[in-house]
Structure 1
Amino acid sequence: MNIAFFLLPKQDVITVTQEATLRQTLEKMEHHRYTAVPIIDEHGGYAGTVTEGDLLWFMKSRPDLTFENANKVKLSEVPLRLNNRSVQIDSNMGDLITLAKAQNFVPVVDDIGRFIGIVRRSEIIDYCQTIMQQGQTAMEA
């Protein structure tokens, strides 16, 4: 199975850039009700994933930081707790499943590292469930 079948293309994915401010990132995540979003670099490459936890821990470590002045801090200043890895579009399902165990979504890049979309964990679980059901049906027949 080709992972492109599961791909949510980049135009349908909410992302932030490394140059986004902390406030812009918080507002975008709140508006879309996401707990994590991919970060895209200036060349269109996948640069990481920022989570609510990353933002909260950063704000906790900076008592002078308020929501009002969060527009003065670039996202690139926020340390990321996790190193969410991406896969290339020609990767196999095993690679995708391995990463999805620890990530809500798996970023997908093309052969030169440009971000082209994500595969959501829920899509991978649905795929695995279908495979298991097909195996169950075959065993019962």
Structure 2
Amino acid sequence: MTDNYDLVNDSILFLLRPKVTICYLEEDWTLRQALEKMRYYGYSALPVVTKEGRYAGTVSEGDFLWHMLNNNEHDIYSQEEYRLREIIRPDFSPPVRVAAHIEDLVDQIMGQNFVPVVDDYDIFMGIITRQDVIKYLRYRH
């Protein structure tokens, strides 16, 4: 390792994509609203926030698919009856704290496209993408 390559002490803040610059969903939206936003922007997974701005979880296309299959519903209009909070998996895509260091998220980012970032009150701050971490590591090495 070189002297300037310090995963333990490098803050994640400079990699943060702030909440105001990214797409996210709100937990009280209907599944149809959420699906349409994901489809429009072309994302396969998005973070979900509460009305208070706290991170509620992340949903993926698979979450919607399993919900529709388990409820034997096949059209998007039937999804107006359900709220996004009903399909969030609490253990999927756990967040890291804003004070974390790069080392704290390297293992997690290898298995997903982004890692959600929260403050000490669990307020959603934004995301760090796998692409940004890879670029950072490439240029730091």
TM-score tier, shorter chain, comes to 0.7 to 0.9
Q: Residue 41 of structure 2 aligns with which residue?
A: 32
Shift of 1:82: 5.3
Match of 1:107 in 2: 116
Letter in 2 for 1:101: M
Runs of 4+ in 1 over 2 A off after TM superposition: 79-82
* Counterpart residue identity of residue 80, structure 2: N
Alignment of 1:68 onto 2:114 = no
1:48 paired with 2:60, answer: no
Written as runs of structure 1 = structure 2, the 5 A alignment for 1:7-26 is: 7-26=16-35
- Structure 2 unaligned regions, length at least 5: 1-9
Q: Which of the two has greater helix per residue?
A: 1
| Residue pair 2:115, 2:127 contacting (<8 A) in 1 also | yes
How many residue pairs are counted as aligned between the two chains?
Answer: 132
TM-score, scaled to structure 1: 0.87
For 2:140, which of 115, 131, 140 is the aligned residue?
131
Cα 1:46–1:79, aligned 2, differ >3 Å: closer, same or farther?
closer
Query: Distance in 2 between the 1:111 and 1:67 partners?
Result: 37
Secondary structure of residue in 2 paired with 1:69: helix
One-letter identity of the residue aligned with 1:102: G
TM-score (norm 2): 0.87
Shift of 1:111: 1.7
If you compute each CA radius of gyration, which structure gives the higher value, 1 or 2? 1
Q: Please, which runs of 5 or more residues in structure 1 have no aligned partner?
A: 133-141
Alpha-carbon distance in structure 2 between the residues aligned to 1:44 and 1:95? 23
Distance 2:61 2:52 in 1: 25
